[in-house]
Amino acid sequence: MGKLLCDDSTSVADAFQTSSPTVPWRAAALEDVDLVDQATTIATTAGTWEDVMGLEEQQRRHLTKLEAKGVLWKHPKEHGSSVVFRLSHGGDVSADGNCLFTASQRAMAAREVDARDLRRRTVKRFLEDFRSANEEEREATNEAIRNMYSPDLRSGWGVHVVQEVKLLAKKEDRVALDSAIDVLVQLGMQREMAAESIYKERCIPVNDGWSWAKYMSVSGSPDDDEYDIITLQYTEEGLLSVDESREGYHGAAFGDDIAIESLATEFKREIYVVQAHGSDAMVDEDNCVFFLPHRPRSEICEPPLFLFMKGTGWCGAGADHYEPLIAHASSPISQSPGKVALVL
């Protein structure tokens, strides 16, 4: 989260601190930005915030202000390396589970790769870093993955109404799994309870770095994916539903914070998720937009990437759909920070 500055330079939020190790900033990274080309890109692909569906007026006003004034980004290590970005909405992307990678590809204007390539590179980068991590670092990653995809259903209900458990079923095993479920149903067990029992017994839980890599590799392709994602939904009372990826629907793994960090590491650039909350989050207009930083695990060699997420509540529940932001870079500036809307 950056410091939100109005014209009188009043700070209403503290900045996140970074502990990411860096290498010397490549000044050419900013100088090489083709402002004419970026301006053309914005003119042809970016829309106004008035065109974006699902926003409340306070969100539109705040995002329009950010676009007009820009955000000031400073390299975390190199003093004097700064640039102003004016952020425009980069258009809708399909809500097919690949939105993180589709939005990132569009925000980077990376014509040489597609969303599936970015997913593969993200998983590969994660595995390389996970293998080289020490035992303490790996366990911290495993714990974060368990909390997201294999939560302890005895707790967490003060925050969540519904919790999900993710499992991976090999495509080649689906017929055998269906047969085992049918056997239990014929013995009088309810279909969903039978499915829960068989899937939990025979499928791979997403509970560590190795299984997360398998999970995050699922792009929803019926031909390329090795696994189907099984989702067990629970309320505090017990099993709510079982999503078995059936009837022609092949769910992709939605990108998470771990994926964003790995994507940032792969491209050696920070990724900011710009999250806009509505009135249901019980925040005032000045505090309805947050910049959530995801820093690479190693060096920072390129300007940041910006993605947009519509928050649906203070905890961001359901806010897992990413859209691209087109960052129009201006030359490094010397004016007062009070003349920009946000200092990152």
Tens of pLDDT along 68-80? 888 888 877 766 6
Q: What are the phi and psi torsion angles at 188 (to 5°)?
A: 105, 5
pLDDT computed for residue 249 by the predictor: 61
**What's the gap between Cα 208 and its chain centre?**
19
User: Are 210 and 141 contacting, i.e. CB atoms less than 8 angstroms apart?
Assistant: no
Q: Which amino acid would we find at residue 211?
A: S
61 C-beta neighbours (distance < 10 Å), count: 14
Q: Is the pLDDT of residue 336 over 50?
A: yes
From CA 288, how far away is CA 278, in angstroms rounded? 7
Q: What's the rounded mean pLDDT across residues 190-211?
A: 97
User: Are 168 and 150 contacting, i.e. CB atoms less than 8 angstroms apart?
Assistant: no
Burial tier of 173 (Cβ tally within 10 Å: 0-12, 13-18, 19+) = middle
Confidence band for 333, pLDDT divided at 50, 70 and 90: low
Confidence band for 217, pLDDT divided at 50, 70 and 90: very high
Task: Report how far apart, in Å, the C-alpha atoms of 180 and of each of 13, 169, 250 are.
Answer: 55, 13, 21
Listed range (112-116, 133-137, 266-270, 281-285) with the worst mean pLDDT: 281-285
Instruction: For residue 168, give both structure tokens.
Output: 């991976």
pLDDT computed for residue 310 by the predictor: 81
Q: Is the pLDDT of residue 272 over 80?
A: yes
From CA 155, how far away is CA 293, in angstroms rounded? 28
* Strands of the chain, DSSP E: 3-4, 71-74, 82-89, 163-170, 204-205, 227-235, 238-243, 271-276, 289-294, 305-310, 322-329, 342-343
Confidence band for 337, pLDDT divided at 50, 70 and 90: low
- For the chain, the structural domain boundaries read 3-16+28-45+61-95+268-343, 143-243
pLDDT computed for residue 212 by the predictor: 98
Under DSSP, is residue 256 helix (H, G, I), strand (E, B) or coil? coil
Beta bridge partners of 3: 343
What proportion of the chain, given as a percentage, has pLDDT over 70? Answer: 75
Q: Which amino acid would we find at residue 154?
A: R
Q: Which amino acid would we find at residue 268?
A: K
pLDDT computed for residue 197 by the predictor: 97
**Contacts by residues 49-55 (CB-CB < 8 Å, ≥ 24 positions apart):** 49/89, 51/89, 52/89, 53/92, 54/310, 55/276, 55/278, 55/310
pTM of structure: 0.81
From CA 267, how far away is CA 232, in angstroms rounded? 34
Q: What's the rounded mean pLDDT across residues 186-197?
A: 96
DSSP class of residue 281 equals: G
From CA 155, how far away is CA 163, in angstroms rounded? 10
pLDDT computed for residue 109 by the predictor: 87
Q: What are the phi and psi torsion angles at 121 (to 5°)?
A: -65, -35
Q: Is the pLDDT of residue 160 over 70?
A: yes
Confidence band for 17, pLDDT divided at 50, 70 and 90: very low
Q: Is the pLDDT of residue 81 over 80?
A: no
Q: Which residue has the higher pLDDT, 192 or 96?
A: 192
